[in-house]
């Protein structure tokens, strides 16, 4: 878990008996490359089917803004955010896609998914 997990807040899902989908796009993610000290930028897309809880949007924004001055690699940050969100929301499933801006002519996108055990 990251140091920022506690920033995430939830509210009760009022339709727990229906399998519906929530998608949140956040094009303002930024962190710092631990190797070069240079800022990284990316668009996060988080999609999930809630069970008992939904993530509160403002707390999610504050949580994601906390990485602003953190030194962390693409693969690490994507998987760590997935871990935090799954622990707090306990969704039926949750998927995260992180599309980073080009560096050295290359563009990397990392995608990871969690599905709840039945």
Is 40 designated active site? yes
- Measure Cα distances from 66 to 2, 13, 18, 22, 36 in Å: 10, 26, 33, 22, 20
Contact status: 16 vs a copy of itself (CB under 8 A):
no
Nearer to a copy of itself by C-beta: 6 or 21? 21
Compute the least distance from the CB of residue 64 to a copy of itself, in Å: 9
Residue from 19, 33, 83, 84 carrying the catalytic annotation = 33
Is 19 designated active site? no
- Measure Cα distances from 67 to 21, 22, 25 in Å: 26, 23, 16
Which stretches of the chain bind a copy of itself, using CB under 8 A?
13-15, 18-28, 30, 38-39, 41, 54, 57-58, 60-61, 65, 68-69, 75-76, 78-79, 101-114
């Amino acid at each position: 878990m990251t140091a920022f997990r506690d920033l995430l807040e939830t509210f009760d899902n009022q339709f727990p008996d229906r399998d519906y989908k929530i998608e949140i796009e956040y094009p303002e993610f930024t962190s710092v490359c631990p190797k070069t000290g240079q800022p990284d930028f990316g668009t996060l897309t988080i999609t999930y089917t809630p069970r008992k809880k939904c993530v509160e949007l403002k707390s999610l924004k504050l949580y994601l803004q906390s990485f602003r001055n953190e030194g962390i690699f693409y693969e690490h940050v994507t998987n760590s955010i997935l871990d935090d969100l799954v622990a707090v929301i306990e969704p039926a499933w949750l998927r995260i896609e992180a599309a980073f801006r080009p560096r050295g002519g290359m563009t990397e996108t990392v995608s990871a998914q969690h599905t709840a055990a039945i």
